[in-house]
Amino acid sequence: MPVFNPVLGHINKKEMLRYAGMRQSEDLPHAVIAAAAEDALVYARPAGAWEIYDYQAPALKIPGGDYLPQSLKLCAHLRGAVKVAVLAVSVGGDIETRVNQLFAAGEYTKALLLDAAADSAVEQAADSLCAFVASSVRALGLGAGRRFSPGYGDWDIKEQPRILELSGAARIGLGATKSFMLAPRKSITAALGLGFSMLPGKAGDACLYCENAGCRLRRAKNDVEDV
């Protein structure tokens, strides 16, 4: 099971502010935003693991026992895929520890923004990992679709342990709690369809599958964009 640790290079500040619940940055000092982004680069330890499996809808062909995801939405999402990459990506636990330290020290804004920067960082890392996996199969004529995670639509997060196992997440120190939360928290698992005519994903796609209509982070359909 291969490992790829994405290089972040920068933190997408626009996304970071969105995760922090801000629609614009005009009212926060630039230095505060920049400091949180810098902190995220210092404390993040981006790491990713993945494995590619043959796919014959609706099952991933796994030696020793196929995996049949219990999700109609995922099945629809993987239409046209001939292979599926199962991915796990994390920015590690140090950044979370730092958020807690900041909160305990009364640095609430820094903590809030660093937490948001970590959200942006893990999304960026997941995008990098998807791009890397996509490039690895390009010579086969395959393209990658959009990533789809447990918790989207009807894909129950109870399937998280199997996804972690299939992605080789243990290699990057990623596991789940008894209630199926990823630990470290700033982590993502996903399935990525690989096929001859898959349409590439865009940032913000997740909102298209999420049923939490009242979410403060929810994007309108026309807000889904390359960021």
Partner 1 sequence: MLKMFDGAMGTQLQALGIADSPCPEYAAVTSPAQVTAIHREYVEAGADIIETNTFGANRLKLKDFGLENRVGQIVAAAARAARAACGRDTLVAGSVGPTGQLIAPLGACSFDEAASAYEEQIKALAGAGVDYILIETIIDLQEMRAAVLAAKAACRLPVIGQLTLGENGRTVTGSGAAAAAAALEPLGVSVIGLNCSLGPEQLLPLVAELARETALPVSVQPNAGLPTVVGGKAVFPLSPEDMAAWVPRLVAAGASFVGGCCGTTPAHIKAMKKELEKCRPSPRRPLPAGVRLSSRGGALWLGGGHKTALIGERINPTGRKILADELKSGSLIAVKREALAQAEAGAAVLDINAGVPGIDQAAMMRRLVEELSAIVDLPFSIDSAQPEAIEAGLRYFPGRALINSVSGKQPERDAILSIAKRYGAAVIVLPLTGKDLPETAEERLKIVGGVIRAAKEAGLGNGDIVLDALALTAAANGSAPAETLRTLKLYKENFPCPTTMGLSNVSFGLPGRELINAAFFLMALANGLDAPIINPLAKYIKELLAAASVINGQDSQGIAFSSSHVSAAGEKAAPAAPPGDEDILDALLRAVARGEKESAADLAAKAHGQGRTVIEITNRALTGAMDDIGDKFARGKAFLPQVMLAAEAMQAAFAVLKEKAGRQGRPPSRGKIILATVEGDIHDLGKNIVSTLMQSGGFDIIDLGKDVPAAKVLAAAEKEKPDIVGLCALMTTTLGAMGECIDLLRKSGYAGGIMVGGAVLTAGYAESIGAGMYASDALSAVKQAKEWVKGRKV
> What backbone phi and psi angles, to 5 degrees, belong to 135?
-65, -30
Q: Could you say whether residue 20 binds partner 1 (CB under 8 A)? A: yes
The interface with partner 1 within residues 80-139 (CB under 8 A) comprises 82, 99-100, 103, 106-109, 111-113, 115, 131-132, 135-136, 138-139
Asked if 6 contacts 48 with a C-beta cutoff of 8 angstroms, the reply is: yes
Size of site (CB under 8 A) for partner 1: 59
> What backbone phi and psi angles, to 5 degrees, belong to 7?
-95, 125
Q: Could you say whether residue 9 binds partner 1 (CB under 8 A)? A: yes
How far lies 147's CA from each of 82, 102, 181, in Å?
15, 32, 19
Q: Could you say whether residue 57 binds partner 1 (CB under 8 A)? A: no
Q: Could you say whether residue 219 binds partner 1 (CB under 8 A)? A: no
Query: Given candidates 43, 50, 67, 152, which one binds partner 1 under the rule CB under 8 A?
Result: 43
Give the count of alpha carbons within 13 A of 171, CB side only: 17
Asked if 17 contacts 36 with a C-beta cutoff of 8 angstroms, the reply is: no
Query: Given candidates 62, 173, 175, 180, which one binds partner 1 under the rule CB under 8 A?
Result: 180
Query: Given candidates 61, 158, 202, 218, which one binds partner 1 under the rule CB under 8 A?
Result: 158
Q: What single string gives the DSSP state of each residue in 119-178? A: HHHHHHHHHHHHHHHHHHHGGGT-EEEEEE-TTSTT--GGGHHHHHHHHTGGGGT-EE-T
Q: Could you say whether residue 142 binds partner 1 (CB under 8 A)? A: yes
Q: Could you say whether residue 215 binds partner 1 (CB under 8 A)? A: yes
Asked if 84 contacts 197 with a C-beta cutoff of 8 angstroms, the reply is: no
Helix (H, G, I), strand (E, B) or coil at 21: coil
Q: Could you say whether residue 72 binds partner 1 (CB under 8 A)? A: no
- Rule CB under 8 A: which residues touch partner 1? 2-9, 20-23, 26-28, 30, 32, 34, 38, 41-43, 82, 99-100, 103, 106-109, 111-113, 115, 131-132, 135-136, 138-142, 157-158, 171, 177-181, 183, 185, 196-197, 212, 214-216
